[in-house]
Amino acid sequence: MERGASPRSVTPGRQRWDVELVRGRPRAAETLAAALGRVPGITDVQANPVTGGVLVRHDARMPATDIGRMVRTAVALVAAGTARAARPGPPRTPAASPPPRTGRGRSARPVLAVGGGIGCAVAVGVALAKGSAPSRQLAAVGAVVAATALVLRRDWRRAVDTSRDAVGPGAGRHPLVEIVGPHRRRLYRAAALSIACQAAEMALGTFLGWTGLVLIKGEAAPLARLGLTAAGAQLCGLAGLVAAACAAVAGLSYASNLQWRRLGQDIEHDWRSRTYRHVQHLAPRHLEGERTSRVAGTLTNDVGQLGAFFAGPANDVLQLATSLLILVPAFLLLAPQIAWIAFLPIPVIAWLSLRHQDKSAAGYARTGERRARLGSQVINSLEAGATVKSFCTEDFEAARIDDLSEAAQASSRHSDRDTTRHAETVRACTTASMAGTLLVGGRAVLGGTLRFEVFSPLIGLPQMLLMRMSRLGGIADQYQRTLACYDRVRRLRALPVETDAGDGTLDLPDVRGEIVLDRVTFAYPGRPAALEDLSLTIPAGRVTALVGATGSGKTSIAKLLMRFQDADSGRVLLDGRDIRDLRRRSLRHAIGFVAQDPFLFDGTIADNIRYGRFDASDEAVVRAAAMAEAHTFVAALPDGYDTLIGERGASLSGGQRQRIALARTILRDSPVVILDEATSAVDNETEAAIQRALRSFAADRTMIVIAHRLSTVRQADRIYVMDKGGIVAEQGTHDELLARHGHYASLWQIQAGALAV
């Protein structure tokens, strides 16, 4: 794997790099970010272990080439550190493992494992030739079990290590154990049914073997011992036994399949709800940093795979393990001569599968990432429908999707080839072993060292087992997919949620709504300060307006009040209490907020107005709509308040959407209300009507009106005029500000003039 770092975009003060080293390696990403973050002049570093992207923000006066050199040096240092750390133990993260061919240290262990397997098999051979019967059997059992256990243990450990690497210390459990979580009881139930079903299947195989024996030899010794001596009676007895075993297999298989599927569904549902709940509580700055479609992909596909693994492959693994547990001792007791050849493939296949896993892990991480990018672009392009059409860029968009789809296809093709090759290798091993069993067993029967009666039922049973083993390739594949999906789910869940430092609450009727910003400085990560040392007072029970150029920090003030963001320094007080001492929910209940780009849900108009006050009566909904000047246009629609408005309210005009959002906030009836450009898309006449209607609404509450159209704020009790960088340039009432002949007065001149024209 290439360990390089290549620049993706370089602008003054900001560089984006693609660093292969951090892809799929959260630890390496963290280390790199920390290392670069310590360099003087570099202000912020974000390394994304999913995409491999590294964003470096720095003092714009530093030459870009210097930054580039530092990034490369840091990558080289981290790479050296990672290689050192990886040498003594198993690789930390499969996604970033170099292929086994190039990693000598890494391939040593599987080689040891398979070497152990083969060595044990040789030892078995020697023991078979020389030792006494019990010692031969013991040696054989021990060898097969030890070699298999060695290989499996190695994998289990590695998965635990990887999981710890992805989510940090403390999670020392295997991902599968974590995935099952509280559904362990159902897992046990399903497992018990599967084991019983497998035992029944083995019994069926034995009965069929005996049937063959009766037909060829005239009798089956075990039945004769039970008192059934005549061939006819034995056949009848066997028919009954076969029928009973068939019925048991069918019933148990049905019940166990049902249980496994239920388990899969429970796991999927559980992970989806828990993860979604987590996502809902993420701090806004983290949610903004994640692509919506990527999060959606994790909540649907990745979580689905967690359940699917338990609904299918987990059952297969258990059946395989059960057959092994029953068959290996049976074989070794009854026909130790041929046991080694029958079971030799087990450790070999286990090793092959795990080796394949090493390779496929990186492939699955890459394919998953490319698919996520594709999905994200598809949604983006679809949502941009009107823009695409108006710029006639349909072909450009189609080509973009084509490229991404091709990239996803290429990486899938690569993993598919590996997977298919692996499955066929495993099948070749199992069939070779079947042939070997027949040949070696046949020779033993001909040579008189093995009785045909013993050999005959044993022919079919290992075949059953080996057929199942041949599915191990597919199972390992699913397992790998599941780990990759689990990794993505865990990463999403590792993002921090909003937490409350203080647990103060507000009693809504007592909230007066006086808001004080006390020397507040706030900057978005990597940006210059949006608000700098800003102090202002918003008196209780009055209408206060914030006006000013776009980008002057008006919306940022609203975000601070809602605690979507927190000030870097300074305090925000509500009725004299620092809002950081209050619970967020309590604060947000006290403040009604109409955002600049309000979101309407796919549903009816009434549903949207009622959002957040689900128990509101129809009359209250209509009253709120009337106050927001929405009632007239809603009533004119054929379905009135039951009109479906499509995704994001697509079937409404911008001004209509704003009025619905306003009605929603009016209905909420909070003591403090922030209207952020809430009527910017509404015509002047309607806006004037809304203002008249809002006057009674505003009478007993604190209103903050953010606007760029000065006519909106003319009636306000106090107007703050914001300048770039979040500074208050002027303040006062409309008349006072006009009398000052300052910035506000000239803006008013321009806007009034524009209106007059």
Ligand X SMILES: Nc1ncnc2c1ncn2[C@@H]1O[C@H](COP(=O)(O)OP(=O)(O)O)[C@@H](O)[C@H]1O
Site residues for ligand X per CB under 6 A: 288, 524, 527, 530, 550-556
Would you say 48 or 360 has its CB closer to ligand X? Answer: 48
Would you say 191 or 721 has its CB closer to Mg ion? Answer: 721
Q: How far is the CB of 531 from ligand X (least distance, A)?
A: 8
552 binds, among Mg ion, ligand X, none (CB under 5 to 8 A by kind): ligand X
Would you say 555 or 658 has its CB closer to Mg ion? Answer: 555
Q: How far is the CB of 720 from Mg ion (least distance, A)?
A: 14
553 binds, among Mg ion, ligand X, none (CB under 5 to 8 A by kind): ligand X
600 binds, among ligand X, Mg ion, none (CB under 5 to 8 A by kind): none
Q: How far is the CB of 724 from ligand X (least distance, A)?
A: 8
Spatial separation of the C-alpha atoms in residues 646 and 56, rounded to whole Å: 40
Which three-class secondary structure string do you get for 574-630?
A: ECCEEHHHECHHHHHHHEEEECCCCCCCCCEHHHHHHCCCCCCCHHHHHHHHHHCCC
In sequence order, what DSSP letters do the residues of 215-281 get, joined into one string? HHHS--HHHHHTT--SHHHHHHHHHHHHHHHHHHHHHHHHHHHHHHHHHHHHHHHHHHHHHHHHHHT
Q: How far is the CB of 554 from ligand X (least distance, A)?
A: 4
Place of tokens 């042939």: 435
527 binds, among ligand X, Mg ion, none (CB under 5 to 8 A by kind): ligand X
Spatial separation of the C-alpha atoms in residues 413 and 287, rounded to whole Å: 33
Sorted by sequence, the CB contacts under 8 Å of residue 570 that are 6+ apart come out as 517, 518, 519, 520, 521, 533, 534, 535
Spatial separation of the C-alpha atoms in residues 297 and 378, rounded to whole Å: 12
551 binds, among ligand X, Mg ion, none (CB under 5 to 8 A by kind): ligand X
Q: How far is the CB of 548 from ligand X (least distance, A)?
A: 6
Would you say 287 or 407 has its CB closer to ligand X? Answer: 287
Q: How far is the CB of 703 from ligand X (least distance, A)?
A: 17
Would you say 89 or 551 has its CB closer to ligand X? Answer: 551
Q: How far, CA to CA in Å, does 494 sit from each of 251, 253, 275, 370, 479?
A: 43, 38, 10, 22, 22
Would you say 332 or 703 has its CB closer to Mg ion? Answer: 703
Would you say 555 or 665 has its CB closer to ligand X? Answer: 555
Q: How far, CA to CA in Å, does 364 sit from each of 112, 411, 477, 480, 648?
A: 26, 8, 9, 8, 34
Q: How far is the CB of 726 from Mg ion (least distance, A)?
A: 12
Which three-class secondary structure string do you get for 386-453?
A: HHHHHCCCHHHHHHHHHHHHHHHHHHHHHHHHHHHHHHHHHHHHHHHHHHHHHHHHHHHHHCCCCCHH
Cβ-contact 640, 603 below 8 angstroms: no
Cα–Cα nearest to 500, from 563, 572, 574, 570: 563
Structure tokens that stand for 39 in this block:
């360099």
Cα–Cα nearest to 567, from 515, 538, 531, 593: 531
Would you say 211 or 555 has its CB closer to Mg ion? Answer: 555
Q: Ramachandran region of residue 513, left (φ > 0), alpha (ψ -120 to 50) or beta?
A: left
Backbone angles phi, psi at 311, to 5 degrees: -70, -25
Would you say 555 or 656 has its CB closer to ligand X? Answer: 555
Would you say 338 or 530 has its CB closer to ligand X? Answer: 530
Q: How far is the CB of 558 from Mg ion (least distance, A)?
A: 8
Spatial separation of the C-alpha atoms in residues 239 and 245, rounded to whole Å: 10
Would you say 453 or 676 has its CB closer to ligand X? Answer: 676
524 binds, among Mg ion, ligand X, none (CB under 5 to 8 A by kind): ligand X
Spatial separation of the C-alpha atoms in residues 343 and 328, rounded to whole Å: 8
Would you say 302 or 730 has its CB closer to ligand X? Answer: 730
Q: How far is the CB of 530 from ligand X (least distance, A)?
A: 4
- Cα–Cα–Cα angle for 553, 559, 563, nearest 5°? 140
Q: How far is the CB of 558 from ligand X (least distance, A)?
A: 8
Binding residues for Mg ion, rule: CB under 5 A, are 555, 596
Spatial separation of the C-alpha atoms in residues 428 and 583, rounded to whole Å: 64
